[in-house]
C-alpha cells in the first residue's frame, strides 16, 4: 500500500493535515491561502503522495467505484460497451469493477450484493431481464443504477440502448423491397426487452408492409447460436414456407446460417438472413452478415455518463430512456426474392432431401 500519508505531506509543508487535505481537494482549495496550496502540492509531489482512496471513501461514503454487470464478457456484444464505459469512468477518476454473472440470476444477486458491500457508487447493468427482481431491488434502494442494452418492465431506471423499432423496421423494409413476402422472425427470449421489442417491431413492420404476419414469429430460448440453430431447424423441419429470416441478434442469425448449411440450403441464394447488433466479426463471415449496426461503445459511454450525472446530482435525476440511432448494414446474406423460384417448394424439397 501507500507508504506516504497525508499527514507526512502536511508535516513536510509545515501545516496541519486538515489544511493539507483542503489544499489538495479541488472543491476546498479556494478556502486555503494560494501560497499554502503551492507548498502543500509541492510537498505532495516530492513525497510521491498518493491519496488512500479507501480511507477517503470510508469518510465520505463515496468510493469512486462503479460496477458493471454483464452476463458474459465472452459474448462479443459486451466488450465494446465495457470499453466505452471504462473510458468515460476512468477519465472522471472512477474505477470500473466488472462482474460477469455467467447469465445466472443467483450469481448476479450475490455479486451485486458483494458490490454494495464494497460501497460502489453505482451500477451499470447489462443483464436486465424484463421482469427482474434484482434490478427492482436496486431501483428500490435508490443506489444510482443505469440499464444498458436491455431495460426492464418497470422503466423507473435510466436506460441507454439502441432504437430497436427502427432497426427492425429497416430489416423488414429491406427484405420487402427485395420482394420477400414470407418473412419469419427468429425472436429473442420473451424475458428480455430486446427480445420483446424487436418482436413487436417486427410485427408492426410486417403489417406496415401489408404482409401476412400470422405465425411468422418463433421464439428462441436464448440469444445463442445453439438456440438460433434449433429454431431454424424446427422451422425447416416443419417446412414453413419462407424466403427470409430476420433474427433478433447476430448469434441467432449465425446459428440459423449453420442450420441452413447443414440442410444444404444456401444463403442468400435459397434464403435471406439478417442479424442484429453487428458484433465484431460478422462482417467477415462468408457471406458477410446483413445486420443492424448498434453503437455499442457509445452505449457504454452514455450509460457511464448518465450514471456519473446521477451520482453527481442525486436529487435531480430522472429515468431518461436514451435510444441511440442504428444503422442498417447491407451485406451479403440478403438477396432478391425472385432469385428463389418457388420458395415454399424449395424449402419443402430440401426437407425431403434432408430427411429422406
Partner DNA sequence: GTGAAAGCGCTAACAC
Partner DNA sequence: GTGTTAGCGCTTTCAC
Q: Are 24 and 41 in contact (CB under 8 A)?
A: yes
> What is the number of H-type helices and E-type strands within the chain?
13, 12
Residue 28 vs 234, nearer CB to DNA: 28
**Residue 28 touches DNA, criterion: CB under 7 A:** yes
Cβ nearer to its own copies, comparing 121 with 132:
121
Using rule CB under 7 A, residue 114 touches DNA: no
Cα distance between residue 138 and residue 184, in whole Å: 37
H or E stretch at 186: strand 183-187
Q: Is residue 15 close enough to count as binding DNA by CB under 7 A? A: yes
Closest contact distance (angstroms) between CB of 310 and its own copies is 16
C-alpha cell at 279: 458484433
Could you tell me which stretch among 12-20, 59-67, 216-224, 344-352 binds its own copies (CB under 8 A)?
59-67
CA–CA distance from 173 to each of 6, 131, 205, 274 (Å)?
A: 64, 31, 7, 12
Q: Which of 10, 37, 40, 115 binds its own copies (CB under 8 A)?
A: 115
What are the backbone dihedrals phi and psi of residue 233, each rounded to the nearest 5 degrees, phi first? Answer: -60, -45
Query: How are strands ordered across the β-sheet holding 217-219?
Result: 217-219, 183-187, 244-247, 272-274
How many residues line the site for DNA (CB under 7 A)? 30
- In the 8-state DSSP scheme, what is residue 143? -
- Residue 65 interacting partner from DNA, its own copies, none (CB closer than 5 to 8 Å by kind): its own copies
Q: Which does 16 bind (CB under 5 to 8 A by kind): DNA, its own copies, none?
A: DNA
Residue 145 binding result from DNA, its own copies, none, given CB thresholds of 5 to 8 Å by partner type? none
* Residue of 11, 12, 18, 332 that binds DNA (CB under 7 A): 18
Stretch that binds DNA, among 9-17, 83-91, 284-292, 320-328 (CB under 7 A): 9-17
Query: Are the beta carbons of 163 and 323 closer than 8 angstroms?
Result: yes
19 interacts with DNA by CB under 7 A: yes
40 in contact with its own copies (CB under 8 A): no
Q: Total binding residues for its own copies by CB under 8 A? A: 48
328 phi and psi angles, rounded to 5 deg:
-75, 125
- What residues from 282 to 341 belong to the interface with its own copies (CB under 8 A)? 284-286
Amino acid at each position: 500500500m501507500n507508504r506516504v500519508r497525508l499527514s507526512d505531506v502536511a508535516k513536510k509543508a509545515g501545516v496541519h493535515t486538515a489544511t493539507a487535505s483542503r489544499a489538495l481537494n479541488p472543491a476546498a482549495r479556494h478556502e486555503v491561502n494560494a501560497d499554502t496550496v503551492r507548498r502543500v502540492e509541492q510537498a505532495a509531489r516530492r513525497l510521491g503522495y498518493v491519496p488512500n482512496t479507501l480511507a477517503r471513501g470510508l469518510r465520505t461514503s463515496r468510493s469512486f467505484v462503479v460496477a458493471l454487470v454483464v452476463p458474459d464478457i465472452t459474448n462479443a456484444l459486451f466488450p465494446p460497451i465495457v470499453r466505452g464505459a471504462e473510458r468515460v469512468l476512468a477519465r472522471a477518476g472512477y474505477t470500473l469493477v466488472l462482474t460477469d454473472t455467467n447469465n445466472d440470476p443467483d450469481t448476479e444477486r450475490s455479486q451485486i450484493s458483494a458490490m454494495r458491500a464494497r460501497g460502489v457508487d453505482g451500477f451499470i447493468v447489462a443483464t436486465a431481464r424484463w421482469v427482474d427482481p434484482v434490478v427492482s431491488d436496486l431501483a428500490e434502494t435508490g443506489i444510482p443504477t443505469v440499464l444498458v442494452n436491455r431495460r426492464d418492465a418497470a422503466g423507473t431506471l435510466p436506460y441507454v440502448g439502441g432504437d430497436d423499432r427502427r432497426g427492425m423496421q429497416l430489416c423488414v423494409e429491406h427484405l420487402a423491397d427485395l420482394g420477400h413476402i414470407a418473412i419469419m422472425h427468429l425472436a429473442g427470449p420473451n424475458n428480455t426487452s430486446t427480445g420483446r421489442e424487436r418482436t413487436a417491431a417486427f410485427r408492426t413492420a410486417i403489417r406496415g408492409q401489408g404482409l401476412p404476419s400470422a405465425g411468422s414469429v418463433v421464439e428462441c430460448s436464448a440469444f445463442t447460436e445453439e438456440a438460433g440453430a434449433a429454431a431454424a431447424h424446427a422451422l425447416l423441419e416443419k417446412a414453413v414456407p419462407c424466403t427470409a429470416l430476420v433474427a433478433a441478434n447476430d448469434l441467432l442469425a449465425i446459428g440459423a446460417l449453420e442450420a441452413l448449411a447443414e440442410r444444404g440450403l444456401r444463403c442468400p441464394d435459397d434464403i435471406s438472413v439478417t442479424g442484429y447488433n453487428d458484433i465484431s466479426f460478422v462482417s467477415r463471415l462468408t457471406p458477410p452478415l446483413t445486420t443492424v449496426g448498434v453503437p455499442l461503445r457509445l452505449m457504454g459511454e452514455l450509460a457511464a455518463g448518465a450514471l456519473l450525472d446521477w451520482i453527481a446530482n442525486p436529487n435531480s435525476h430522472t429515468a431518461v430512456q436514451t435510444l441511440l440511432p442504428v444503422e442498417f448494414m447491407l451485406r451479403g446474406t440478403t438477396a432478391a426474392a425472385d432469385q428463389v423460384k418457388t420458395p415454399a417448394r424449395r424449402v419443402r424439397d430440401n426437407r425431403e432431401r434432408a430427411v429422406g
